[in-house]
Amino acid sequence: MKSQTIGIIGGGQLGRMLAMAASRLNFRTIILEPQPDCPAAQLANSQIVAAYDDREALQSLAEACAVVTYEFENVPVEAARFLEKLVPVYPPPQALEVAQDRLTEKQYLNSCGIPTADFRAIGSQEDLETALEEFEGEGVLKTCRLGYDGKGQAVFRKGDAADGAFARLGGVPLILESFVPFVREISIIAGRGLDGRIECYDPAENVHRSGILHTSTVPANISGDVAARAGDSAIRLLTALDYVGVLGIEFFVTTDDRLIANEIAPRVHNSGHWTEAACVISQFEQHIRAVGGLPLGSPNRHSDCLMQNLIGDDILALESWALEDDVLIHLYGKTEPRPGRKMGHITRLTGRR
Ligand code: AMP
């Protein structure tokens, strides 16, 4: 039944959780992913084992599905544009374009009235030295594309030498961001339906370890005003992109309560996993509702909670998590616990609201 099938590009844990949510609403799912028996395909109805930009595979996906979505932001834009001629693609491919390049992303956020760190495009060592001088010797240098979890970055504090930094980061297009003196990092997850209705979850406070998300806590330790500004940013962005689906925005909160957007994820997000235990409608169901054309659900939170990622060997403590009350365990079907690999997460409810 074509009308009930959702295609998902990408076969990781986010695709897996989307497939789970989809199945409860009687949607079938097909995963497009080159790695056989990937986490998402273990739970989906079927998998097309092919590269993300394989035209024949994309054509078969479009023929079998009523709508196609994706679970990671580095889906080739040309693949999404090719698909959109055959079948609706949500979120819109423009969201991929914006999120794949840190320079485009910051320019777009600013054009929506969402503040970011000050930034300069860096195309040479000379550009870097000029920009660092403008930022009084401090800044964070990042590759424009394909950096994640702190990879492809260099931090400069006053007095640090910049020699050779452009080449060390690969001689590719870079962005230098001014250094944001933040006291905490938060994120907001929000969804927009086909009818334009927008729903925002409460912001979560995030702690990273070695560049990887370690915990997300709700409520975040922020004022109502900061929370409202995070929601306002999400509404501006979702509206500007004519978005359908769920997205995440990560922010820095500064000492003087300014909210500075760092990056966006045009998909469900790790810092929104808490919603599966603390809300009736999780971010995964919200995304499936949006792309499947159903009304969005309420993002209300019934509990306070802490989500902790299980990275690498953390999964060995599984039995002790299982003994705890009010802890939801969610594992991703990955067999080998390599260092830095996200194996699962737990959500501990810490009180009713
Ligand atoms: P990102 O890959 O952009 O998420 O950055 C990884 C981490 O580096 C962030 O979670 C921050 O802790 C830090 N960071 C990134 N950009 C900045 C910035 N402009 N100012 C201060 N810290 C930053």
Which of 187, 194, 188 shows the shortest CA–CA distance to 288?
194
Q: Using CA positions, which residue lies closest to atom 5 of ligand 1?
A: 150
* Entry field: residues in the chain: 353
Q: Is the pLDDT of residue 1 over 50?
A: no
The answer to whether the CB of 213 is under 6 A from ligand 1 is no
How confident is the model over 102-129, as pLDDT tens digits? 999 999 999 999 999 999 999 999 999 9
How confident is the model over 72-83, as pLDDT tens digits? 999 999 999 999
Q: What percent of the chain has pLDDT over 70?
A: 98
Q: Is the pLDDT of residue 22 over 90?
A: yes
Give the nearest ligand 1 atom to 250 CA. Answer: 4
Give the nearest ligand 1 atom to 206 CA. Answer: 10
Q: Is the pLDDT of residue 3 over 70?
A: no
Q: What is the pLDDT of residue 2?
A: 40
Q: How far apart are CA 9 and CA 12, in angstroms?
A: 10
Q: How far is the CA of 205 from the centre of ligand 1 (A)?
A: 15
Query: Which of the four pLDDT bands, split at 50, 70 and 90, describes residue 152?
Result: confident
Instruction: Report the pLDDT averaged over residues 330-345.
Output: 95
How confident is the model over 259-280, as pLDDT tens digits? 999 999 999 999 999 999 999 9
Q: Is the pLDDT of residue 217 over 50?
A: yes
Q: What is the pLDDT of residue 150?
A: 62
The answer to whether the CB of 276 is under 6 A from ligand 1 is no
Q: How far is the CA of 105 from the centre of ligand 1 (A)?
A: 15
Q: How far is the CA of 221 from the centre of ligand 1 (A)?
A: 19
Q: Is the pLDDT of residue 86 over 90?
A: yes
The answer to whether the CB of 140 is under 6 A from ligand 1 is yes
The answer to whether the CB of 262 is under 6 A from ligand 1 is yes
Do 245 and 99 contact (CB within 8 A), yes or no? no
The answer to whether the CB of 185 is under 6 A from ligand 1 is yes
Residue 58 or residue 151, greater confidence: 58
Q: What is the pLDDT of residue 34?
A: 98
